[in-house]
């Protein structure tokens, strides 16, 4: 390929062509995959309250410490799944229910999506339904009260003088409880175990 190395115009055209080909196969072809735009069977749009909560999540930069994507790795599907104790307490069966890896159809109502890149704290893609609302309220008011030694900041400005949650705190919790519920994985996992 001496001609490419000696003629600058040919080199530029050659490099541009390669870059275009790369873009086409890594971006354009995957974007044509229709399954990216199909909501999962259980997916529902956010309610007004949940959308407000999402705005607060973005505004507070929760995404700098939390991702929203469970990867297809055993360490993650186990870590973000439902532990034996939790399944037993709630459903009366002793089994570890793994969290399903994230699917494109779960994100169709996320604009913008908040996948995140850093995990200073745990992933939140499957946090909906893990705790009750009062746990979240206490955790946001004072993370150390529910999680000793936590380095998560306290979001005290979402609470009034008497420590009662403001509307924004309630919206944020509603949003957190919605995360991961576009797949009914807890119910499905328990049903699978019971049918065995
Ligand atoms: C400085 C990093 C940081 C920021 C910013 C942050 N968190 Fe956290 N978060 C953590 C850490 C660390 C933990 C694990 C300890 C704990 O439970 O507090 C955590 C835990 C959590 C949990 C419990 C997850 C689980 O599965 O147990 C939730 C829910 C949560 N954070 C929500 C939020 C929300 C909502 C915001 C924004 C308002 C936020 N976090 C901002 C670091 C952060």
Helix (H, G, I), strand (E, B) or coil at 97: strand
* Size (the chain), residues: 196
Of the listed ranges 1-5, 44-48, 56-60, 174-178, the one predicted with least confidence: 1-5
pLDDT at 15: 95
Find the mean pLDDT for residues 152-177.
97
Q: Which pLDDT band, with edges at 50, 70 and 90, does 196 fall under?
A: confident
pLDDT at 45 over 90: yes
* Ligand 1 centroid – CA 66 distance (Å): 7
Give the pLDDT mean for 183-189: 95
DSSP per-residue string spanning 152-196 = PPP-GGGB-TTSPBPHHHHHHHHHHHHTTTTS-HHHHHHHHHHH-
The 3-state DSSP class for residue 56 equals helix
CA distance 176 to 188: 20
Distance, CA of 174 to CA of 56 (rounded, Å): 11
Report pLDDT for 4.
84
Q: Which of 136, 137, 120 is nearest to 128 (CA)?
A: 136
Best of 54, 65, 69, 120 to mutate for ligand 1, by most ligand atoms within 8 A of CB? 65
In the numeric block, the tokens 């055993």 are attached to 74
Nearest residue (CA) to ligand 1, atom 14: 121
Is the pLDDT at 195 greater than 90? The verdict is: no
Q: Whose CA is closest to atom 23 on ligand 1?
A: 122
| Mean pLDDT computed over every residue of the chain | 95
Mean pLDDT, residues 137-141 taken together: 98
2 confidence band (pLDDT: 50, 70, 90): confident
Question: What CA–CA distance (Å, rounded) separates 69 from 114?
Answer: 9
pLDDT at 37 over 90: no
* 83-128 tens-digit pLDDT: 999 999 989 999 999 999 999 999 999 999 999 999 999 999 999 9
List Cβ neighbours of 90 (8 Å cut-off, separation of 6 or more).
Answer: 82
**pLDDT at 178 (0 to 100):** 98
Q: Check if the beta carbon of residue 181 is closer than 8 Å to that of residue 129.
A: yes
Chain-centre distance for alpha carbon 114? 7
pTM for this predicted structure: 0.90
Instruction: Report CA(56)–ligand 1 centroid distance (Å).
Output: 14
């Amino acid at each position: 390929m001496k001609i490419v190395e000696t003629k600058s115009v040919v080199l530029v055209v050659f490099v541009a062509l390669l870059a275009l080909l790369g873009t086409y196969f890594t971006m354009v072809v995957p974007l044509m995959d229709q399954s990216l735009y199909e909501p999962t069977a259980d997916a529902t749009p956010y309610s007004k309250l949940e959308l407000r909560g999402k705005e607060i999540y973005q505004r507070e930069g929760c995404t700098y410490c939390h991702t929203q994507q469970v990867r297809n790795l055993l360490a993650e599907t186990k870590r973000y799944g439902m532990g034996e104790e939790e399944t037993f307490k709630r459903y009366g069966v002793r089994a570890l229910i793994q969290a399903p890896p994230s699917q494109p159809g779960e994100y169709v109502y996320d604009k913008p999506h908040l996948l995140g890149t850093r995990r200073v704290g745990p992933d939140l893609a499957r946090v909906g339904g893990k705790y009750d609302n009062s746990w979240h309220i206490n955790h946001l008011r004072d993370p150390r009260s529910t999680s000793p030694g936590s380095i998560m900041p306290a979001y005290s400005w979402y609470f009034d003088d008497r420590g009662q949650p403001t509307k924004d705190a309630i919206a944020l919790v509603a949003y957190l409880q919605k995360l991961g519920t576009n797949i009914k994985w807890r119910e499905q996992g328990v049903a699978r175990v019971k049918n065995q």
